[in-house]
Amino acid sequence: MSQSELLRRVIFVLDANAIEYMVTGSLVSSSQGEPRSTHDIDLIVNIHASSVAALVRAFPAPDYYLDEIAAMEAIHRRDLFNMLQVDTGDKVDFWILGNDPYDRERFSRRVSWDLGDVQANVSRPEDTILQKLRWCELSGGSEKQFGDARAVYELQYSILDRAYIEAWAAKLNLASLWQRIQDEAEPLKA
């Protein structure tokens, strides 16, 4: 099963079980910016413990590895759990929606986006940039994360709400990285 088929199946199961989701991470930044390969599908999910059993049933062993106990613990901790597609090694990270004000804001702003041949709820380009900058900061200055953010800025420049990015960059202590993007980028202006 290809990564896009896996994503389509995951979205179908989430929708069928009324689990709100948002695709984020490199899969989205590759669609909104410069394409690059990734074996991870990152999702933020608003999932309750009562939905975990249905998720586990939808992705059974031996084709998938999804630990029900780990998922329940992740919901309790407001952390993440993952699922592995055994034959391809593709991984789905389910990040539990927590109480962080920015995470709640970006989740509420999600938008339908074409990810190749899959239509999905994804983070808006502004939030993709901000989250990539957060990961850059958390990883000690990852140029890969910064480059992803810059590429989204360059390609989506004409539709970006730069005031929104500016405000959240200040709140998240990312102002210097945000300024660096503006200094270094070569945006495509419509």
- Cross-sheet strand order for the sheet of 40-46: 64-66, 80-85, 91-96, 40-46, 20-24, 119-122, 111-114
- pLDDT at position 115, please? 87
Longest dimension (CA), the chain: 50
Name the DSSP class of 97: P
Alpha carbons 34 and 171: distance in angstroms, whole number: 27
**Parallel, antiparallel or unpaired: strands 91-96 and 40-46:** parallel
- pLDDT at position 190, please? 65
Q: Give the alpha-carbon dihedral of 99, 114, 132, 154, to 10 degrees.
A: -140
Alpha carbons 18 and 187: distance in angstroms, whole number: 38
Phi (first) and psi of residue 143, to 5 degrees? -70, -30
What parts of the chain have a pLDDT lower than 50?
Answer: none
- pLDDT at position 183, please? 97
Distances (CA, A) of 54 to 14, 22, 44: 9, 19, 18
Q: For residue 174, how many other CB atoms are within 10 A of its CB?
A: 22
Fold of 3-122: Beta Polymerase; domain 2 (3.30.460)
Cβ-proximal residues to 183 (8 Å cutoff; 6+ apart), any chain: none
